[in-house]
Structure 1
Amino acid sequence: MNYPNQIDGVYGIKAAGSKKKTFVLWREVVMAYAAPAIMAGIGGLISADKGLQIGALTTIGGTSALVALILGLWLRSRGGRKRWIIGAPHLVVVGMFALAGALLGLFAAWVTSDLLGIFIPIDHLAWVGRVWIDFPLSGFIASTIVTWRWRLAVTTNFSSKRRR
């Protein structure tokens, strides 16, 4: 007797030979760290900018990975329950989350550069000047990619379940 894969929708496991796209958080976080870190590292090597080379591995890659982790956890646990996320056009949802990621990055840059200076003398830390570009840009890129890929996985799985 041929039974449909009942655990496929529950645990997000991809059946052998299945065309369904799944959202695997650890892969998204690794890619969110590696992709901008590699690109910024190459840019730092080409321009001989030591600050960009170090920032690629710390503020750029780290912020991207952190945003991808936080957003991915939220989308996985609560995103599917929000009707406007599933029902709205793909580009609208991705654009809204990208804007939210950039704003979160700006807020993190403000906290890091202004409020942290109250408690710690940050005049000697060269990376603090970079956070105004690194944090919002990393938040924007990570939010865009994670939301795009999550939404593709959700709509693909949702539409395939409707056809059964």
Structure 2
Amino acid sequence: MKYPTQTDDVYGITAVGSKKKTFVLWREVVMAYAAPAIMAGIGGLVTADRGLQIGALTTIGGASALMALMIGLLLSSRVGQMRWVIAAPHLVVVGVFALAGSSFGLYAAWVTSVSLEIMIPSNHLAWADRVWIDFPLSGFIASTIVTWRWRLAVTINFSSKRRRKQ
């Protein structure tokens, strides 16, 4: 049985966003790269900061895309089917994964800076100092957005399945 909504027209046309939403990982990864890269690139253009412009395309966008891929794969695996991930409040799940994303970003920044010091003792790379800010911040933002959107898709799909059973 279909329940009428305010978006139903006389001809039975429903709103575009009223259908069941699914979580598509490649779209999330592309957006996780593009959105922060564009915003940081604009910030670099406005402030005339060449390092920020280069960092937008490399460390900021790349770290965001990598984190979105990792969190998306994690949520699509068995972790996403665990009871606490589905039953816990939305903000709690997003908060836990945001902390995990920023923690992984800090770890990645530490590994990157240590390995660069071993390979290139005279630290002449301009972006090497940026990783301490870019990686944790990109991890936090990407994992927050991906987890939020994944949880919305799971909640919508779960509630629509429950309505069909009734």
Settle same-fold status: TM greater than 0.5.
yes
1:98–1:140 CA contact under 8 A, matched in 2 = yes
Write the deviation string for residues 67-125 of structure 1: whole angstroms up to 9, x where unpaired: 00111011112233211000000000001100110110001001111243123335111
Superposition pairs of residues 6-155 of structure 1, within 5 angstroms? 19-121=19-121, 123-155=123-155
Change in CA separation of 1:45 and 1:161 when aligned onto 2, cut-off 3 Å: same
Percent of pairs identical after alignment? 81
CA distance in 1 between partners of 2:17 and 2:146 (Å): 24
CA distance in 1 between partners of 2:118 and 2:67 (Å): 25
Change in CA separation of 1:114 and 1:80 when aligned onto 2, cut-off 3 Å: closer
Compare CA radii of gyration and give the structure with the larger one: 2
2:116–2:123 CA contact under 8 A, matched in 1 = no
How many residue pairs are counted as aligned between the two chains?
Answer: 149
Q: Which range moves more in the overlay, 75-84 or 146-155?
A: 75-84
Give TM-score scaled by structure 1 length: 0.86
Q: List gaps (5 residues or longer) in structure 1.
A: 1-15
Give TM-score scaled by structure 2 length: 0.85
Change in CA separation of 1:43 and 1:114 when aligned onto 2, cut-off 3 Å: same
Alignment RMSD (CA, Å): 1.6
